[in-house]
Amino acid sequence: MRTSRLDRRVPTELALSGRSSVLGRSPAERSTRAVIVIAVSLFASACAPQERAATSGAYQRQVDAIFLRQLDARHAPRDTPIAWAPGQWVLTRSIGEDGERSIRYVRLLSREDDGFWIETETIDPATRTVSAARVEGVDPTDPRPGRIVELRVRKNDGDVETYDPSDPLVAKASADVHEVLALLTDRGEPGAPVSLTTPAGTFERAFRTPVSIPLEVGTASGDVWYTNAVPVIFWARREMAERVFLGTREVVEEVVDFGLAGAESALPLAR
């Protein structure tokens, strides 16, 4: 069973909290207790990096496995988008110009009134972040999400936080889900249809479209290959320059797999 950093601190804190009783002990007793406290502290410090390294190794293996996948499938064109429905999901992989790699799941979890819960789970070799947003004003047959009314984020340490979507302090934590929604809302004018091959297979009619979208911490512009054959996000590939306060990052993201059922949330949601 994994021990949290807080759990590992408890023996040390308990040892230090009984100061009056320690002062009443003999020098030999105090010396022995001090040695124990120091040993516990050193053990906790030694364990923390190992646990982080083990988690990072697991993320690296997940990313590597997805980058090896290649489906031999042909996806027929559709005249209309696949209507949003709970259970749909998409898996993508992305690589930056610096070789940095990550994978992302996008899931439709449930429907509430005229809105949906949509979740993103992004994994890179070092971190895992899960964001879920409840969006209002969604037409399931032509999803262009409206206002985000609730936002939940599972941080890399496992804690789940609920945020006010208007709070500027949550911009970085919710960047992934905002980016997915922006690509749905600002689709631009489609170009001529082309045949596009991705790790998910070949899409017979994909529309290469120039797109510029706002991000929570910057902007992104480039080309997106939209296709109604992919559920939830309606695109199969994007090549974009993401401009944030730290500079510009070129990224290519492609669909690896998708499904119309079976999506399960990576964090607890209020129903």
* CA atoms of 89 and 105, how far apart (whole Å): 7
pTM of the shown model: 0.75
User: What is the pLDDT at residue 155?
Assistant: 67
- Residue 173: what pLDDT? 61
pLDDT(139) > 90: no
Task: Give me the pLDDT at residue 4, please.
Answer: 35
Quote the pLDDT of residue 237.
97
Q: Which residue has the tokens 């999506």?
A: 263
Q: What are phi and psi of 8, to 5 degrees?
A: -70, -20
Give me the pLDDT at residue 29, please.
Answer: 47
Q: What pLDDT, on a 0 to 100 scale, did the predictor assign at position 182?
A: 84
Res. 135: pLDDT tops 50? yes
Instruction: Give residue 39's pLDDT.
Output: 41
User: What's the pLDDT band for 145 if we cut at 50, 70, 90?
Assistant: low
**What pLDDT, on a 0 to 100 scale, did the predictor assign at position 178?**
80
pLDDT over threshold 50, residue 255: yes
